[in-house]
Amino acid sequence: MNMQKICIIGDGLAGLTATIILSNENIKIDLYADNSNINKSQNDDRTTAVSESNYQFIKKELNLNKLNFFWPCKKINLFFEDKNRIINFLNFKEKNKNLMYVFQNKELKKKLNKIILKKKKIKIIKKKNKKKKNKNITLKINFLIP
């Protein structure tokens, strides 16, 4: 059977995760990445929360045993600010299970990039991401398929 080849555009969490999972199959991958991100410390200071099932998927499918940068949460309080008041409008609390896991994006991206750099089926294509200030941006990508 011929090995299939696909292209993944973007080296965010979704792109990196898809790249690793698909590379475990009989698929070659071209990963189009921002030239400034691969092999460098990520500057993404955001945090993300995932469900218990997504956390288990990440552990299993990405073969990550040590996820000490994921913080389990058993309690969630949601607030919104209205004029000069802060209103708590939703509360969840569990004693026996985690409701979600919170993590720093840059820590997971570091782990994912290390995995990707070790895999032979993945070709990283670094492209400079040019940001335009025009609100009506059209992106045209041409691929030649043999």
CATH number of the CATH domain containing 27: 3.50.50.60
Does 17 reside within a domain?
A: yes
User: Which pLDDT tens digits describe the chain residue by residue (146 residues)?
Assistant: 577 889 999 888 999 999 999 998 888 999 998 765 544 545 778 889 999 999 999 988 888 877 888 999 998 888 888 888 888 888 889 889 899 999 999 999 988 999 999 988 899 988 765 555 555 555 555 444 44
Does 14 reside within a domain?
A: yes
Does 141 reside within a domain?
A: no
Q: Are 73 and 52 in contact (CB under 8 A)?
A: no
Query: How many domains is the chain partitioned into structurally?
Result: 1
Does 69 reside within a domain?
A: yes
Q: Is 35 exposed, middle or buried (0-12, 13-18, 19+ CB in 10 A)?
A: exposed
Q: What is the domain extent for residue 109?
A: 4-127
